[in-house]
Amino acid sequence: MSKQAEFAVILKMNPMFADLGADELQRISNLCHTQHLSSGEVLFQKGDPGNALFGVRRGQIRIETGATDGSRLTLNFMGAGDLFGEVAVLDGQERTADATAGEATELFVLRREDFLSFLEREPKVAIRIIQLLCQRIRWQSERMEESVLQPLPVRLARRLCALAEDFGSEVHISQEQLGVFVGAARESVNRQLQAWRKDNILDLQRGRILLHDLTKLNTIARNE
């Protein structure tokens, strides 16, 4: 499969591009480049202009933020097939976090200038993008109301399910970071995880969580 075709597949998996036609996807894919990073190399830092969209071809990128106390907290992991910077490529605003390669990584790069001039030549695609952004705005505001008002177990279950999508049943994350993800204290996260461990829903090890029963976790996440 050509590099471009591979990138098209990744785009297609992202909700933001999923509804575009094969034809349009292919023309966007033709704009892409690739970039290699060695482990630990910095892709961008907070404050850099957001001048591209990235797709992970292989390897891993960590999205992290330098906390005020000097410690670093990982906000997200992007693995093979993940796309990030969809918004930045469109509006060029500053990056709001740092991105570093967690291992040797190869990225697809779609540069802002290339994408914008493409949109200018293809107003129909631009309108399509507008509609997708609108969907995202709606989706966000639904989630906003819904999600944060949920009790901690629900938020935690949702996050774990989401992580399971990316990493399978063995999620490599500290309870501290999990707390940051769901907006809760580390101790509260720990207590909830302990409760689930007693119910054989999962198992705990230093720095990782083994998910045994995704089904139950999903039920909790739905909060029915």
Chain positions contacting DNA, by CB under 7 A: 151-153, 174-176, 183-188, 190-191, 193-194, 204-208
Q: How far is the CB of 145 from a second copy (least distance, A)?
A: 7
45 binds, among a second copy, DNA, none (CB under 5 to 8 A by kind): none
Residue 165 contact partner, candidates a second copy, DNA, none, CB within 5 to 8 A by sort of partner: none
Minimum CB separation of residue 203 from DNA in Å reads 9
Interaction partner, residue 70 (DNA, a second copy, none; CB < 5-8 Å by kind): none
State the nearest-atom distance from the C-beta of 175 to a second copy, in Å.
Answer: 19
Residue 135 or residue 200: which is nearer to a second copy going by CB?
A: 135
CA distance 66 to 84: 19
Binder of residue 91, out of DNA, a second copy, none (CB less than 5 to 8 A by kind): a second copy
